[in-house]
Amino acid sequence: MSSCYHRPVLIPNALRLARCLTLFLFAGCGEGGQMPDLATGDDALAGALDLARRPDLAPPAKDGAVMPDGAIEDLAPPADLAPPADLADGGPVFPAARTSNGMVTAPDANAVYLFGGFAGAQLFGDTWRWQNGGWTQLKPAASPSPRLDMAMAYDAVRQRVVLFGGSSALPPLAKLEGDTWLFDGTNWTNANALGPPKLVAPAMAWDEARKQVVLFGGWDGAATFSKATWTWDGVKWTSRQAPTAPTARLGHSLAFDGVHNEVVLFGGYDGTAALDDTWVWNDVTWTERKQATRPPARFDHGVGYDPFRKVVVVFGGQIGPGIGAKADTWEWNGSLWKAAMPKTTPSARVVHGLALEPQTGGLLLFGGWNGVTFFGDTWRFDGADWTQVK
């Protein structure tokens, strides 16, 4: 059965007509769980334009780029109306613009894998590989159902992408999933494993020190979020009863700090406000790392670990439901947060993918959404600057 979805979404309709639906999708969708009346026509358009005019949510720049002084270049065409990426004339092949996709690094394969997501009225169930500086669409014999806001991590011991949960319905509805899938680089296999309840927007990371995947949080379809911790050993899920844990949330990030051998959690949304707390998991308990200097509160941001510079990198996210997309870059070195100061940066966006590119050592970013446009651009962060990959 479908439920009303938490995540606040502003969705242009498929024909780009003069109306948008502003959907604040949190817990119940109205009295008795019914959807509230939605604005249409000029009222909805005015709301969408008001959102686009916010100074902290700038319109998309040409090719998704924004200059550091805030000057905006010519607007790009709507990404969700772009022609298919697989061009008949032999042009470049790349995933369609989208948000809420999963993206992970497979170091042994020198590859980054991408799955799913959505854009407007399109829900994706495709699998892509980034390798040797370009995207290739894969054709596995079996795949998870098309979905968004699932969690993904890479099991480096068993050399499998691990995918859990998500929603197989387009917003404003949510059809929660609780299945676990494994991808070996060629095919997806349903692990048919019992484990966490059905969840949307949990976070997962590979714990290299303990050789297991860690999952935290998400939304289980009820009126509250989850604050449960689970681990996956390649065969089964185990519920971990930590004596101390972060508050319940969704839209947070997890990444493994290879220097300090701990999983780092940052941010999220607790149903009331965006969060700015930092926690670390050592396989026994969670410990909060309180910092005077830290990224502004946010959720739906991208995260990746740079093993060469030994920092966790955070980019983008939003500061509130449907407002305030960010375009800043922050780094966590295990004890301190520091704002990076790149000369060029991708435009502000939320729910994008961010993963290590093994062949260059940079962090690869794909996709996202800014309240108006779904992005299909690819960027690389080398620790000093962002560069769009054409």
Q: How many domains does the chain have?
A: 2
Of 185, 171, 196, the C-alpha closest to 119 is: 171
* Bridge partners for 318 per DSSP: 299, 325
When mean pLDDT is compared across 19-33, 153-167, 218-232, the lowest value belongs to 19-33
User: Which residue intervals of the chain are DSSP H helices?
Assistant: 41-53
pLDDT tier for residue 223 given thresholds of 50, 70 and 90: confident
pLDDT average, residue stretch 231-238: 98
- Give the rounded distance of the alpha carbon of 86 from its chain centre: 24
Helix (H/G/I), strand (E/B), else coil: 147? coil
List Cβ<8 Å contacts ≥24 apart for 331-339.
331/306, 332/257, 332/264, 332/266, 332/278, 334/257, 334/259, 334/260, 334/310, 335/289, 336/291, 336/293, 337/278, 337/291, 337/293, 337/294, 337/295, 338/293, 339/295
Q: Is the pLDDT of residue 213 over 50?
A: yes
Strongest mean pLDDT among 25-34, 143-152, 169-178: 143-152
pLDDT average, residue stretch 341-368: 97
Of 267, 292, 288, the C-alpha closest to 279 is: 288
Q: Are residues 296 and 219 in the same domain?
A: yes
Q: Are residues 175 and 247 in the same domain?
A: yes
Helix (H/G/I), strand (E/B), else coil: 41? helix
Alpha carbons within 13 angstroms on the beta-carbon side of residue 254 total: 30
Q: Are residues 318 and 377 in the same domain?
A: yes
Maximum separation of any 2 CA atoms in the chain, in Å: 59
In this predicted structure, what is the pLDDT of residue 166? 98
* Bridge partners for 152 per DSSP: 163
Residue 308: other Cβ atoms inside 10 A? 12
Distance CA 176, CA 166 (A): 6
pLDDT average, residue stretch 252-258: 98
* Torsion sign across C-alpha atoms 138, 144, 145, 146: negative
Residue 208 inside a domain? The answer is yes
Distance CA 128, CA 83 (A): 18
Q: Are residues 25 and 121 in the same domain?
A: no
In this predicted structure, what is the pLDDT of residue 159? 98
Q: Are residues 28 and 86 in the same domain?
A: no
Helix (H/G/I), strand (E/B), else coil: 378? strand
Q: Which tokens sit at 59?
A: 């319109």
In this predicted structure, what is the pLDDT of residue 118? 98
Residue 216: other Cβ atoms inside 10 A? 29
Distance CA 295, CA 266 (A): 9
Average pLDDT, the chain: 82
In this predicted structure, what is the pLDDT of residue 92? 62
Residue 340 inside a domain? The answer is yes
Of 375, 372, 373, the C-alpha closest to 52 is: 372
Of 179, 248, 198, 176, the C-alpha closest to 4 is: 176
Distance CA 187, CA 179 (A): 16
Q: Which tokens sit at 338?
A: 């520091």
DSSP secondary-structure letter at 53? H
Out of 17, 32, 66, a domain closes at 66
Q: Are residues 191 and 319 in the same domain?
A: yes
Residue 235 inside a domain? The answer is yes
Please report, for the domain that includes residue 134, its CATH number: 2.120.10.80
- pTM for this predicted structure: 0.81
Q: Are residues 194 and 236 in the same domain?
A: yes
Q: Are residues 59 and 201 in the same domain?
A: no
Out of 66, 87, 117, a domain closes at 66
Residue 306 inside a domain? The answer is yes
* Enclosing domain of residue 23: 3-66
Residue 71 inside a domain? The answer is no
Q: Are residues 87 and 52 in the same domain?
A: no
pLDDT in tens, 276-334: 999 999 999 999 999 999 999 999 999 999 999 999 999 999 998 767 899 999 999 99
In this predicted structure, what is the pLDDT of residue 54? 27
Q: Are residues 11 and 143 in the same domain?
A: no
Query: 337 and 293 in contact (C-beta within 8 Å)?
Result: yes
Residue 73 inside a domain? The answer is no
* Torsion sign across C-alpha atoms 220, 268, 145, 23: positive
Residue 25 inside a domain? The answer is yes
Out of 66, 89, 106, a domain closes at 66
Q: Are residues 268 and 121 in the same domain?
A: yes
pLDDT tier for residue 7 given thresholds of 50, 70 and 90: low
Question: Tokens 């995207």, residue?
Answer: 135
Residue 296 inside a domain? The answer is yes
Q: Are residues 274 and 322 in the same domain?
A: yes
pLDDT in tens, 84-141: 444 434 556 899 999 999 999 999 999 999 999 999 999 999 999 999 999 999 999 9
